[in-house]
Structure 1
Amino acid sequence: MQTLTFRVSGGDLTALRFGTGPRLVLAVHGITASGMQFRAVARHLPADWSLLALDLRGRGGSDTMPGPYGIDAHAADVCAVARQLAAPVVLTGHSMGAYVALRAAVTAPGLVDRLVLIDGGLPLPAPTGVDPDQVLHAAVGPALARLRLTFDSLDSYLAHFRAHPALSAHWNDDLDAYVRYDATGVPGAIRSRVNADAVGTDGRDVIARAASFGDDLLRWAVPSSLLYAPRDALDREPGMLPEPVVAHWVGATRLQAELVPGTNHYTIVLADGPAQIIADRLTACTDEARTP
């Protein structure tokens, strides 16, 4: 793994590069995650591929980057990085990162050879009259609560993750590396490197502007892939993307959807078997990706 920085508006964005191959995947993580989320996927790429995983503003190595936050701001950062790579990329995003990747693709379509959405990217309108903060809390409440906590040691921080209902049965070296990368602080005050204010802004943006992502899907006329999990962020059924929502957008666009069995919202990228499936879809032949 190589740590790189890219100049974007307001400062330098951190990215993690896995592999040395000339064909490139540009990956965008979820709302409380970091680029380390894609370590397992990167390991399964063919030798002629590499994966560049961004740390979005307020996360990982970009935790001190100032705002603005929100989907448009993150998409602008993705486009800025893609331009500096000087070649079209395969673009992917998980969860909130899928919305960012979709927005970046429609903003600068010439930068993207192929778009792969992972358990995100589809509009999920909130019930009428419900405060977006209530919806946000229902969706990522436990993850938000973690951002306010401090821990006595790195071991206790790891133990907190290992007890998570979506992760406990799937713990592996990639999850261990992911948590270690997220941790910062001194013994007695270990905490996450994720900025809670950034998470709040980004989450409210996804909820309040849900319809705009439907517009993006209709504008993006290139065949694209969606991989989604049958279980949610707490390992419960149904998943984050209900089947009727998936079916609607598959019927309305050129999106091809694939359920990844036995996965939840996190393990779809962090577990070994699903990571192999995602790597295979990311590196599928791009020559026909833009065929009308």
Structure 2
Amino acid sequence: MSPDQSASSSTVEELAVGVPGGELAVLRWPAAEPDAPVVLALHGITANGLAWELVARELAGRVTLLAPDLRGRAGSAGLGGPYGMDRHADDAALVLRQLAGGAGKVAVAGHSMGAFVTTRLAVRHPELVRRVVLVDGGVGFPLPAGTSTEALAELLGPALARLSMTFADMAAYRAFWRAHPAWSSLDEAAAEGYLVRDLTGQEPRLRSACVREAVEADGGQLLSDPQAAAAVRQLPCPAELLWAERGLLDDPQGVYDEQRLAAAGLAGLDLTLRQIKDSNHYSILMGQVGAPLVAERILAAAGLG
């Protein structure tokens, strides 16, 4: 972990939870009241727990928010495989058992890949989950024949490319992300801590603390394994999907649209669909438009809405 790689808010704590193979780093934003609900939040495929910082600010201490760095990312980069949705889901279950053991069933939110982990968590550990909020992820839809892990680079673009790069200093890393098509729509103050947490090593050879092997294993499963996308149809609890109007590169084609959702076979599920206008795959979580709406739906899922 680099010298500055710590949670960026004075109200957030960093904890360690024992899991197979070592310890999982977990960020915790404590609630203002001791009997407030607990919420678990799971980040995307190349992200870290500070992706939830702006949402945490919007929650304003009304819940205790737990946001782990998933295995192979940031503070949990030292945890090796196996990776995959089930392993992440079981790690998340251990987080809840160790840090929220007396809270009963809790609301769980997941962004992008974290939404797929969320559905697996609810299916594998239904005694822990009361409702789920899926943020631009968690619902699979038919992919073109022949889709393979080679599509991952095209899908993730700069987010994946950076894993093979080094950076002279923090300024160079900021410049790399500011060139990302979606970055201008993010809250820059919140994004700063997220970026710092993603870096490891020493100048002039800083690099992302996200392990490429983990990303490729997880992404390959999402692209090729039908079971990875099936959990949303097996959920034992109510769910809500918040989907961004625009895509990962701020392109007009979002991860979801009406046609893709219609093809996903969601009829009859206890799943509410909400489009978040004026948002892309990143800003739905880390932007001034998306974060308040995500926080609002998390509070509702936690029984406070």
Where do 5+ consecutive residues of structure 2 fail to align? 1-11
**What does 1:253-264 align with in structure 2 at a 5 Å threshold?**
253-264=269-280
Q: Are 2:122 and 2:129, in contact at CA under 8 Å, matched by a contact in 1? A: yes
CA distance in 2 between partners of 1:201 and 1:142 (Å): 18
CA distance in 2 between partners of 1:152 and 1:251 (Å): 51
Q: Are 2:153 and 2:161, in contact at CA under 8 Å, matched by a contact in 1? A: no
> Structure 1, residues 90-139: CA drift from partner, whole Å, max 9, x if none?
10110000000100001111101110000000113332133x12221221
Q: Which residue is 1:276 aligned to?
A: 292
**What does 1:124-135 align with in structure 2 at a 5 Å threshold?**
124-130=141-147, 132-135=148-151
* TM-score, normalization by structure 2: 0.89
Q: Are 1:124 and 1:207, in contact at CA under 8 Å, matched by a contact in 2? A: no
CA distance in 2 between partners of 1:288 and 1:5 (Å): 28
Q: Are 2:39 and 2:302, in contact at CA under 8 Å, matched by a contact in 1? A: no
> Structure 1, residues 212-252: CA drift from partner, whole Å, max 9, x if none?
423x2222142211101011110001101232232344424
Q: Which residue is 2:14 aligned to?
A: 3
**What does 1:209-220 align with in structure 2 at a 5 Å threshold?**
209-214=225-230, 216-220=231-235
RMSD: 1.8
CA distance in 2 between partners of 1:61 and 1:161 (Å): 20
CA distance in 1 between partners of 2:126 and 2:236 (Å): 10
Q: 1:170 to 1:66 in 2, by over 3 A?
A: closer
Q: 1:43 aligns with which of 57, 63, 73?
A: 57
Shift of residue 50, structure 1, vs aligned partner: 1.9
**In the alignment, residue 194 of structure 1 is paired with which amino acid?**
C
**In the alignment, residue 16 of structure 1 is paired with which amino acid?**
L
> Structure 1, residues 1-21: CA drift from partner, whole Å, max 9, x if none?
100111111111001112334
Q: Are 1:123 and 1:211, in contact at CA under 8 Å, matched by a contact in 2? A: no
* TM-score, normalization by structure 1: 0.93
Q: Are 1:249 and 1:255, in contact at CA under 8 Å, matched by a contact in 2? A: no
Q: Which residue is 2:8 aligned to?
A: none
Question: Is the partner of 2:252 in helix, strand or coil?
Answer: coil
Question: Is the partner of 1:44 in helix, strand or coil?
Answer: helix
**What does 1:1-292 align with in structure 2 at a 5 Å threshold?**
1-21=12-32, 22-84=36-98, 85-86=100-101, 87=103, 88-130=105-147, 132-214=148-230, 216-247=231-262, 248-284=264-300, 286=302
**In the alignment, residue 39 of structure 2 is paired with which amino acid?**
V
Q: Are 2:185 and 2:283, in contact at CA under 8 Å, matched by a contact in 1? A: no
Shift of residue 149, structure 1, vs aligned partner: 0.4
Q: Are 1:124 and 1:210, in contact at CA under 8 Å, matched by a contact in 2? A: no
Determine what percentage of the aligned residue pairs are the same residue.
Answer: 39
Question: Is the partner of 1:245 in helix, strand or coil?
Answer: helix
> Structure 1, residues 231-277: CA drift from partner, whole Å, max 9, x if none?
11100011012322323444241110110101000010001231111
> Structure 1, residues 181-240: CA drift from partner, whole Å, max 9, x if none?
1111111101111000100000001111135423x2222142211101011110001101
Question: Is the partner of 2:289 in helix, strand or coil?
Answer: helix
Q: 1:257 to 1:93 in 2, by over 3 A?
A: same
Shift of residue 286, structure 1, vs aligned partner: 4.6
Shift of residue 46, structure 1, vs aligned partner: 4.3
Shift of residue 288, structure 1, vs aligned partner: 11
Q: Are 1:232 and 1:238, in contact at CA under 8 Å, matched by a contact in 2? A: yes
**In the alignment, residue 32 of structure 1 is paired with which amino acid?**
T
| The 10-residue stretch of structure 1 (43-52 or 177-186) with the greater mean CA deviation from structure 2 | 43-52
Q: Are 2:283 and 2:289, in contact at CA under 8 Å, matched by a contact in 1? A: no
CA distance in 2 between partners of 1:135 and 1:256 (Å): 29
